[in-house]
Structure 1
Amino acid sequence: MKQTELVFIPVPIISHLSPTVEIAKLLTQRDPRFSITIFIMKFPFGSIDSMTTDSDSIRFVTLPPVEISSGATTPGPSMSEFIKAQTLLVRDAVHELTRSNSVRLAGFVIDVMCTHMIDVADEFGVPSYLFSTSSAASLGFLLHLQFLHDYEGLNLDEFKDSDAELQVPSYANSVPVPPVYPVGPILNTRTGFGEDQQNASAIMSWLDDQPPSSVVFLCFGGMGSFGADQIKEIAYGLERSGHRFLWSLRQAPPKGKMAFPRDYENIEEVLPDGFLHRTARIGKIIGWAPQVAVLAHTAVGGFVSHCGWNSLLESIWYGVPVATWPIYAEQQINAFQMVKDLGLAVEIKIDYNKDNNYIVNAHEIENGLKNLMSINSEVRKKMNEMQQISRRVIIDGGSSHSSLGHFIENVITNIP
């Protein structure tokens, strides 16, 4: 019997690759007819090899490196051209994959940032399915903006830095878009530490010594970093709040260099004088953080987050209230949804953007931390309720479980 093959094409950064791998696992576990090949595009920096281990039903193919334009400080500005440059490599790799008659190509599952690959799927005469690693609401927001531009003739540039309010259907009602399959939460809740076992063990040991729900965890994602002035304001805000804290502090890449943040070699050089000494009994500053394991720990009572969708899903899964501090991409709209739409988070900032040079001051941070750690807050109650819902939807009969089944039926029905 021919194997039904799906080709997955994710953006090769952890926040996109991780949920892609998890949804691939769900599909192959749910229906043994599927095998999946995940193509890994190679950035000229960083490594994600630890996530790309083949299994019986899932294999990873790393594409050859492609040069991208220099001068960008983050992957964002050149991402479209980077993805476009991969299309010939993907086409050749799929030809190689389908050369054997044992494979029946069912379609491409494409990251929403990799839409150039739809043209490749069209060449093979198979359907394309877009996988959004963010929330359904933020996808609806983007589609609604496109609708306003295409059908109502609005110039979206007019909304930049304005006080205008938009009614966005996806935040209250269904949106008339192509079929959408809400399959979340897509999570990797395994807490293995890999090569960082020693550092992770020290972090978990420190948490073991803290009282339940007493620690504020600050972590800003794989691309999250701040300048020296902002770091000092965070430090002052933490100290004045009086709360115990675990702070994942990463160093920004040099200006003009395309790279991921890294751990500091000397953390004291960016902190206020005496800060480490004054907070030694209540705080711990780390570099890389085993985020899932930390959020799962009973000592953690609050999470200051950049509002990446993976991080928000993890906080909900473990029932940890969030204080919002978005940095880039769709994180502002995620923060809005968590604070204003769902009441699952408190605000440090909602409209922060790493490129606007705004400094969030210590007073704002202190107030946000105190609101976050308020024991009897409505946010904490709602988060506990949502935690239970997030676990029910993925079991047999739950809405996400059903959506995944509908997607499988669609794929099988539309095989050329």
Structure 2
Amino acid sequence: MKKPELVFIPLAASSHLTGSIQFFAKSLLDQDEHLSITVLIILLPPQTDLDPYTKSIVSSNSNIKFIIIPPAITSHIPQPFSSSICIEMFVHRVCESHKPQVELAIKDLVLDESTQLVGVVLDMFSSCMIDVANKFKVPSYMFCSFSTAYLGFLLHLPDRHNQVGDNFHPSDSDSVIPSFQNHVPANVLPGAVFDKSGGGYESYVYFGTRFKECKGFIVNSFAEVEPYALYSIVTPPNVYPVGPLIEFKNRNDSSGSTKSEIKNWLDNQPLKSVLFLCFGTMGYFNESQLAQIAIALERSGHRFLWSIRQPPRDGNVATSDYTNVQKVLPDGFLERVKERGMVCGWAPQAEVLAHGAVKGFVSHCGWNSVLESLWYNVPIATWPLHAEQQLNAFLLVKELELAVELSLSYRSHGSELVMADQIERAINSLMNDANPVREKVKDISEKGRNAMIKGGSSFVTLEKLVQDMLQNINKSEQ
């Protein structure tokens, strides 16, 4: 029997690579040792090589083969941030330009007579590669590093476009989206769907349209946390919730406080006493907003660990540590709170959430962060910044009742200033032992862990997915 081969084509950004490779691919190999996985990596300009963290993933997975696709000529594609084109359209065009190289790479794989290509696993931004999979007459599977409810939103966009024919507007009335029980306000929709001139809306409609051509959606979620969204999606294509797939250890990007300093500080705090504030690799605030957070933390009286990052520099999209964070905080703040608070740069988020001293989490609501908070039974106060995070915050607060509302509609590139009073109220609510959110998070945390063990919902779903993939061998030989 030929060895079944899966090809992964993820976006070459660390969160996408770790989501689709380190978690899902390794889970597949655990299910069936006969599987072989090849990952075709498309670098995004100005990338010229993988970052050190991703390289460490590559070197640590001997059962997974990595191939960096030769760069295509992308000089004709306008750069985001320096032109009117949005990041979604830019990434889509870069992936589109790499189709010939990807096709050649897959062709080399299928020339090996000992292997049988059984499918191609894509992510949202590489959905154009469905065309390449079709050339080899194999099915495409979409790995969704976001919620099932958000998948439903993307699938809804082409239907809405056929009816309305135009992008969303901030003044729109609340939307009926099949994967949400509640009507969804316009101010929590992803910013891209309001963007007509830069191609954001066009890109999202394109993604949703191509999604429907897949054989299956592999979602990093679990049935127990999103039952309504899961059953709202009409199949086929099939939906395979295989999560929560989370990263138990984080990269060390720290140039300021080290991981050991953070751990030592947490070790000296009482059990379930610390509020953790962290906003992802792309999360930052201006000095005015930092001042309001500082005032709220000082007045609240709670112990806290606050990760602060400075805005991107030199054309990068990721943040970095401040060389002197004291300069961007109110005068005397660090001295006044030194007995109960720690301010750091980068923080090992998963490891902090796993620490017994941590009780609450003020988060940007990226889906990976949401899953980590649920896994470690640490309730969230929502503070979304960009992308689909506003919709995640709405899902957590209004649909699932698993988070405290700090803000649902804040956008990092907007002019809104969240005042200290609002922040302090949310913090106090989050840290209150009597808040019913705490018991609900505890319950869903247990269900999420049970979903991943043998016999659990996600474990069984992953078994079914592997069986479905292996059936492609028989079909191709008929």
Name the TM-score class by shorter chain. Answer: over 0.9
Question: 1:41 aligns to what?
Answer: 42
Q: How is 1:105-184 mapped onto 2 (pairs within 5 angstroms)?
A: 105-150=117-162, 153-155=163-165, 157-171=167-181, 172=228, 173-177=231-235, 178-184=237-243
**Is the aligned partner of 1:70 residue 2:76?**
no
Q: How is 1:300-315 mapped onto 2 (pairs within 5 angstroms)?
A: 300-315=358-373
1:77 Cα deviation after fit: 5.1
Deviates further, 359-368 or 185-194? 185-194
Deviates further, 348-357 or 386-395? 348-357
1:17 Cα deviation after fit: 1.7
**Is the aligned partner of 1:240 residue 2:252?**
no
2: CA distance, partners of 1:334 / 1:357: 21
2: CA distance, partners of 1:411 / 1:2: 14
1: CA distance, partners of 2:413 / 2:251: 34
Per-residue CA deviation, residues 107-148 of structure 1 (Å, 9 max, x unaligned), is 100002211111111122211111111011111122123322
Deviates further, 105-114 or 296-305? 105-114
1:196 Cα deviation after fit: 8.1
Question: 1:186 aligns to what?
Answer: 245
Question: 2:24 aligns to what?
Answer: 23
**Is the aligned partner of 1:81 residue 2:100?**
no
2: CA distance, partners of 1:246 / 1:160: 35
1:149 Cα deviation after fit: 2.4
1:76 Cα deviation after fit: 4.0
SS in 2 for 1:52: helix
Question: 1:98 aligns to what?
Answer: 110
2: CA distance, partners of 1:246 / 1:90: 44
RMSD over aligned CA atoms reads 2.3
SS in 1 for 2:125: coil
1:273 Cα deviation after fit: 1.3
**Is the aligned partner of 1:292 residue 2:350?**
yes
Whether the aligned pair in 2 keeps the contact of 1:2 and 1:103 (CA below 8 Å) is yes
Per-residue CA deviation, residues 181-226 of structure 1 (Å, 9 max, x unaligned), is 1111111224685998981111101000011111111111121122
2: CA distance, partners of 1:191 / 1:253: 20
Question: 1:7 aligns to what?
Answer: 7
Question: 1:214 aligns to what?
Answer: 273
CA change 1:116–1:56 in 2 (3 A) is same
Quick one: which of 58, 66, 73 aligns to 1:60?
Answer: 66
AA partner of residue 139 (structure 2): P
SS in 2 for 1:181: strand
1:377 Cα deviation after fit: 1.0
Per-residue CA deviation, residues 265-308 of structure 1 (Å, 9 max, x unaligned), is 12122111111111111111111111111000001000111111
Whether the aligned pair in 1 keeps the contact of 2:147 and 2:367 (CA below 8 Å) is yes
Whether the aligned pair in 1 keeps the contact of 2:124 and 2:144 (CA below 8 Å) is yes
AA partner of residue 128 (structure 1): S
SS in 2 for 1:130: strand
- Give the total of aligned pairs: 413
TM-score, L = length of structure 1: 0.93
Identify unmatched segments of 5+ residues in structure 1: none
2: CA distance, partners of 1:101 / 1:196: 49
Whether the aligned pair in 1 keeps the contact of 2:274 and 2:303 (CA below 8 Å) is yes
2: CA distance, partners of 1:198 / 1:94: 44
CA change 1:76–1:209 in 2 (3 A) is farther
TM-score, L = length of structure 2: 0.81
Quick one: which of 357, 369, 372 aligns to 2:415?
Answer: 357
CA change 1:179–1:396 in 2 (3 A) is same
CA change 1:158–1:315 in 2 (3 A) is closer
Per-residue CA deviation, residues 140-192 of structure 1 (Å, 9 max, x unaligned), is 12212332223xx1245355343424253455342214211111111122468
* Percentage of matched positions with identical amino acids: 42
1: CA distance, partners of 2:307 / 2:127: 33
1:382 Cα deviation after fit: 0.4
Identify unmatched segments of 5+ residues in structure 2: 182-227
**Is the aligned partner of 1:326 residue 2:326?**
no
AA partner of residue 290 (structure 2): I
Quick one: which of 375, 379, 397 aligns to 1:339?
Answer: 397
